[in-house]
Amino acid sequence: MQQPARAGPPGYQVTLARLPARETLRDAWLALQARSDSSFFLSWQWIGTWLDTICPTRMARLLSVHHDGRVVAMGILTRRGRLFGFAPASLRLHETGSRDLDSLTIEYNGLLSETGHHGHALAAMVRHLLEHEPSWLTVFLPGIDVDALPLAALREMPVEIRMNLRPTPFVDLQDLRDRGLEYLPTLGSKTRAAVRRTARRFEHALGPVRLETATSPGQKLEYFHALVAQHRRYWHGRNGSDGAFGDARLVRFHERLLQQSTSTAGGELMRLSAGSTPIGYAYNIVANGTAHFYQSGIDYAAGAFHGSPGLLLLSRVIERHLEEGTNRFELMAGDSPYKRSLGAQAGSMAWASIDRIGLAARLRRVWWRLNRRRD
């Protein structure tokens, strides 16, 4: 027998509706954003651009959480089903369910929430979906900080919770600044040696190594397109794909984001050169004193005989942010060796799935697995 959903924190009401006109949604989102300490990935810059370039309007719904007569949380849920609605539906928070499009990779995800309400609002969302939206089997919550998940409240509900955890290496730049430390000497001896050796070889072969930051929208797009070209060249040689930029809609997303970015919020593009030869480009997302390393494009032909151009590029980027007063540099989720080498500390990010419990859900899950095998 299915366990009834228990009541969560009192006073939270949830609505799920079609998206309003874009201007109306923008104004409501920005009003809530002004009362929130959520990440840039939940800002209107990111979400509005995602809605404009990637997310089909027909599959998106606006979820709003109210408390004491005001909206305290919002998010965009998408719904995907199969075979004219007879297959189990899945709901996703700020993703589409398309593997190619979701390679955009949102992190520090969640509901855009007024400060102090995130955990209660997320629990209220799941409870509402259990009680009022019977057609779904799984709710996917991608890229959420583990500490932001209201696990105690969720475990009181008739759901199964699955989590794929990934480390999130970072550098606490403010701590280095407070202690009067430079960044490079804090790294392991092998990493330090690789960075210094690569810099020496580039300088000997091509000229002085320098890092430049794009300062105008036009220059940002110039650097971005060069990054995409190098990124695609590398991945095409490795596995025949275009890597993170295989779909034209993803490229349009980033072009739009960069055009509306400022020096303190949005996309940041940096270029590392030796002499007059570009070695590589770094794409960071900056906001609220934090820089997130998002993507890179490296000319491995220029760097083939010069050691570790990727380590050199990122170490110089991190050093620049230390100089400029950034509080924290995030290397984003993943366990790649370069992230372990460059990040002194690590948090944890969850790609969580919340499955409804019950006989109908079990039957739908068996049906789903059978059809996946046929695919």
State which H helix or E strand residue 80 sits in: strand 70-80
Which pLDDT value is given to residue 7?
A: 44
Which pLDDT value is given to residue 3?
A: 38
Enter the pTM of the model.
0.91
Parent domain of 297: 170-348
**Could you tell me the CA-to-CA distances from 331 to 42, 109, 320 in Å, in that order?**
18, 16, 15
**Burial zone of 93 (CB within 10 Å; 0-12 exposed, 13-18 middle, 19+ buried):** buried
The verdict on 130 and 234 lying in the same domain is no
For residues 268 and 301, is the Cβ–Cβ distance under 8 A? Answer: no
The verdict on 276 and 366 lying in the same domain is no
The verdict on 335 and 191 lying in the same domain is yes
In a domain, 4, yes or no: no
The verdict on 143 and 249 lying in the same domain is no
Under-50 pLDDT residues of the chain: 1-7
The verdict on 131 and 268 lying in the same domain is no
The verdict on 361 and 342 lying in the same domain is no
What is the per-residue burial (b if ≥16 Cβ within 10 Å, else e) of 30-67? eebbebbebbbbbbbbbbbbbbebbbeeeebbbbbbbb
**Burial zone of 29 (CB within 10 Å; 0-12 exposed, 13-18 middle, 19+ buried):** buried
Q: End-to-end CA distance of the chain, in Å?
A: 32
Which pLDDT value is given to residue 253?
A: 98
In a domain, 2, yes or no: no
In a domain, 43, yes or no: yes
d(CA 236, CA 231): 9
What CATH number does residue 47 fall under? 3.40.630
The verdict on 212 and 361 lying in the same domain is no
In a domain, 69, yes or no: yes
Q: What is the pLDDT of residues 113-159, one digit of tens each?
A: 999 999 999 999 999 999 999 889 899 999 999 999 999 999 999 99
Give the other-Cβ count within 10 Å of 284's Cβ: 24
Give the residues across from 113 on adjacent strands: 73
In a domain, 165, yes or no: no
Among 34, 349, 368, CA closest to 167 = 349
In a domain, 310, yes or no: yes
Which pLDDT value is given to residue 4?
A: 37
**Burial zone of 24 (CB within 10 Å; 0-12 exposed, 13-18 middle, 19+ buried):** exposed
The verdict on 85 and 193 lying in the same domain is no
DSSP assignment letter at 305: T
Which pLDDT value is given to residue 300?
A: 87
Length in residues, the chain: 375
Q: Which two tokens stand for residue 109?
A: 């995800």
Query: Would you report the helix, strand and coil content of the chain in percent, each value rounded to 5?
Result: 40, 30, 30
In a domain, 218, yes or no: yes
The verdict on 177 and 120 lying in the same domain is no
The verdict on 193 and 328 lying in the same domain is yes
For residue 19, report the phi and psi dihedrals to the nearest 5 degrees: -65, 135
The verdict on 199 and 269 lying in the same domain is yes
Which pLDDT value is given to residue 5?
A: 39
Which pLDDT value is given to residue 84?
A: 54
- Domains identified in the chain, total number: 2
Among 288, 310, 160, 174, CA closest to 231 = 310
d(CA 36, CA 256): 24
The verdict on 185 and 325 lying in the same domain is yes
In a domain, 263, yes or no: yes
Q: Is the dihedral of CA 328, 332, 334, 336 positive or negative?
A: negative
